[in-house]
A and B are shown apart, each in its own frame.
Chain A
């Protein structure tokens, strides 16, 4: 509230001090268009900003004393001061066009014409219910109630200015602009009256006398939330098969065909007529989209060590792609590798073997990449490659340990130890790899979204082949 800006006295002199912050100024401007208008026309040509606010607070102080006669006298002497003391003309005219658009069921203004009591001398004049006001200085009277109403209205409108609050002039201009837009929009808005009528008719219905309205609906069914919200890769593969299978089991009042039909219909309708009444305006939607994606990309960005420049960006494009490719393939292999433990069947056993072979094939390839880059980047690349090495190392180590364990199965001691330690280790590694993987995926999709997707799809085939054993030691890169 503007009224919260209260003067402070120093206790010795009659001087009062008002403290004004940029937020206060913004608030004053948006709640009092007349002040805004005066600011734009007076500052800085006619007076300095400081003088302007001094004058403003002088007027406020006069209001605070609730002495409308003094206010009138001061206003008569100083026309600039009078601007602040008078009723706000801009608000009044705004109110006039706004009142035409309010809901007719609460438009009390319309009664004015139907009632004789507004006429002078009609009805009972002095029965105590009507209040006495001093009519002479009416012009300079402003009540707290008006301020409250105005404040609440501005809060409700929720107008934001995206300029630096420090610059008062810029704030003022931005506000004036947005106000203008609003009023032009308000005038051109023809749908408002229609919408209003619609609301009236909805309001008149008595809800509980109405029969229950059973609109046809198809409930949204997410069979497995984890499946839905987890990695998109898995989703992309599975949805085609699973989701439809799930849908049919749900009881719903609409068949799939109907839903599809209505969807198609509405799409074709939108195609033909365009979105007539979009839920969100296209510009707004675009802005929101931008803002959201922007923040996503920046968070991705910041996860890397160097927030301003990614290491990957400095690498030659080919190397970068190869690296990303290896990362994804290693991760996928590891995923399947760790998923096969503990080995219970012979199938799993052969699968693990195949995976291990495929992984060990990666070592030379990584070395190759390391060798191919110029010397100044070699360190960077080796840094990038190291976690891959470690991950694969861990897997192979575990594989070998497991092999050993199998060969010495009879020794119970080993089993006990061998059962737990590798498992813990595996968990650690798994979390670590998952972490790396997620980083890489984010990065990958950010830098070259299309490429990564295609490669991952291709790889999927390969992995499945490897897993199924049709092509045991196939080279991973085609």
Chain B
């Protein structure tokens, strides 16, 4: 369908639109007009992604003189694929109605591991080996060598891509990673470098959060993006955690040992170069004197992880004199490693601020702050000079340099915590020095500064006023939309008591109570016999899940569950979990039915949808609080209290409830879909906890469902499923329309529209 929002003609690839999608678009359009940032919360299952994509592409189509670029950030690669698939749908529709002028180029960008088509490189297991494998074949010096000596292996795909030079372009269209690989294979061009090259011409770029937030990656990938871009962070409820993770580093004994090995190897290389090709080192020195650092004209393949988010002025400074010479720099690093090793030999937990730490480094190891700040760049330059290709071997020393640069750069918002052992296992000495970031705004600040519009959106952003404080920005639009439902297709329940009427909870003093475990088991057992197709269960942590599964297995509950449905379990091994998920879906597809056990805050909870028959019921066993005894969490809470006046308890509850809401929200995909949600913990019935749930769940949580026991929940589930199985009028009917057609939109002025929303 096609409709007007003020001066923009929006092309929407479906015949109908939900009213909340329409008002979402209106708000988004206002934010774009105002060239400001915005914060939008809309329940899952209301088609956020397609609303976003169709408004922004239509917006840029309607303003051909100043086309805006869309940078769409997803948390995971599979979400990226989903987004691109939706965009493809939209693009086909726009081409059909507008003709060739609607053509856009949209690409997904990922690491070499997901884009490489060279079979020898792909054989490597993890990302870093693939990166290193690629560099071994494509680094500029390797290729120079290959030009002279044909026995040096190179990558055929990259050579072809280089040969094609400016002719190597992607024709307009929407390319998923799969499409990129297929295109690369067909043309014989390297898809990774092709995609990297095309990023600057593409109208839509879809990639992972890290490409913008992680300064190590952002420097290379995102530096060419113009200011007139719209950046979208989808599923952004966890964005503060992503930000602080991006700037946190930890150093362990293994790291220091590895770093020492790396340093020995580097010194060996330096000696070798001195003997054979001393001019190279001298050239590097001269370059550093001139302050060119690395930003100059390095070939694309030699570029790699860039320095952590440094203020611009530092980038323009020259590398300080005392680390310009390779040997001197090496000595500095050796002293630094030595110093850190000394600090790790502690018997008590120590907490320090970066300023104090830098002062102590300077007095004990004689390294000043400025030298620390440049460690990362200097190492990078040195490794290029020494023509080191197996970069995956040098991760440890890179970590040390990351650490040094961060400590040298930031005076506030961080703390250094040294723990001699994990307090859950005090008998195993495992000292760790952690530089943990507390301030999420540090990592995201460059993004807010650089781009004209940043959209942060998710199904759960409640309380919505907290995010601007955490991320330190001022949105021009900040709205939370409710869901207009044709029928009550979600059914949240709070289960406080088990089948024996005793309270259930994962509270610390109750979680190991066999009665609670049994009650949880009975609940699931009853539910599997009533609910068709897929059921998803979320537990508060892996260890709790393992424990409960073992108990259920011993008591035979699991065996009874398996008579109704197959059981799949999320593990910490990603490959295994992926296969388990795939099998889970197949079990639901073929009608066998299955239960999936997963962990809140785990990878599955973050990005996998359990829509339609893949999830008719979610059970959240317990409240997923963070591990509150963690030193890092305590430091962060303290920081939040001091800087933002956010109370510890409030933050913890907010964090736990957004995770819970996130977990249960995965069952709904559209209004034709339906699902039940059971919050199985007595603490959910308390108002202070419950009220932190997003409003779209709260509005369906009836008072009668607030304090249920297993048998009552079972009854409600039966009734609900029976009700949902009836045919219904999709448009909502009567006065409250939940599905709008093109005529509806034309008939209605904006005024009536707004009445409907509220």
Contacts and interface: CB of A to CB of B under 8 A. Distances in A.
A126 interface: yes
Contacts of A125: 250, 252, 432, 434
Contacts of A208: 16, 670-672, 730, 739
A416 interface: no
Interface residues of B, number: 108
A283 interface: no
Contacts, number: 250
Interface in A96-115: 96, 98-99, 102-115
A189 interface: no
B14 A148 contact: no
Q: Which range holds the interface residue count of chain A? A: 35 or more
Max chain B CB contacts within 10 Å: which of A116, A127, A211?
A127
Contacts of B166: none
A4 B558 CA distance: 11
B88 A201 contact: yes
Interface string A129-161: 101110000000001111011011101100000
Contacts of A132: 422, 424-425
A124 B632 contact: yes
A209 B670 contact: yes
A146 B113 contact: no
A210 B113 CA distance: 36
Contacts of A305: none
B565 to A, nearest CB: 9
Contacts of A104: 77-78, 81, 176-178
Max chain A CB contacts within 10 Å: which of B77, B248, B434?
B77
B114 interface: yes
Given A207-B672, A208-B730, A105 B81 contact: yes
A121 interface: yes
A111 B76 contact: yes
Nearest to A202: B85
Given A149-B579, A201-B88, A105 B82 contact: yes
B108 to A, nearest CB: 10
Contacts of A3: 553
A120 B112 contact: no
B208 A115 contact: yes
Contacts of A203: 85
Contacts of B497: none
B251 A121 contact: yes
B578 interface: yes
A1 interface: yes
B739 A209 contact: yes
Nearest to A196: B178
B362 interface: no
A123 interface: yes
Contact of B670 (A102, A129, A207): A207
Given A148-B568, A209-B17, A121 B583 contact: no
Given A113-B127, A131-B542, A152-B583, A126 B574 contact: no
Contacts of B114: 110, 113-114
B117 to A, nearest CB: 13
A116 B216 contact: yes
A126 to B, nearest CB: 6
A86 B697 CA distance: 46
A61 B81 CA distance: 44
Contacts of A99: 575, 578-579
Nearest to A101: B582
Contact of A102 (B82, B582, B631): B582
Given A99-B579, A112-B574, A206 B252 contact: no
B47 interface: yes
B113 A113 contact: yes
Contacts of B670: 206-209
A131 B630 contact: no
Nearest to A134: B428
Interface string B101-134: 0000000001111100000000000111010000
Interface of B: 14-18, 47, 50, 76-79, 81-82, 85-86, 88-89, 110-114, 126-128, 130, 176-178, 208, 210, 214, 216-217, 244-246, 248-252, 254-255, 395-396, 399, 419, 422, 424-425, 432, 434, 436, 541-543, 546, 549-550, 553, 558-559, 562, 566-572, 574-583, 585-587, 590, 592, 594, 597, 601, 603-604, 607-609, 626-633, 669-672, 730, 739
8 contacts: A109-B578, A111-B574, A111-B603, A126-B632, A128-B633, A129-B627, A149-B571, A200-B82
Interface of A: 1, 3-4, 95-96, 98-99, 102-129, 131-133, 143-146, 148-149, 151-153, 155-156, 193, 197, 200-201, 203-211
Given A113-B113, A200-B85, 16 more contacts: A4-B559, A104-B177, A105-B609, A108-B76, A110-B78, A113-B112, A113-B126, A116-B246, A124-B248, A131-B542, A146-B576, A155-B566, A156-B586, A206-B50, A209-B670, A210-B16
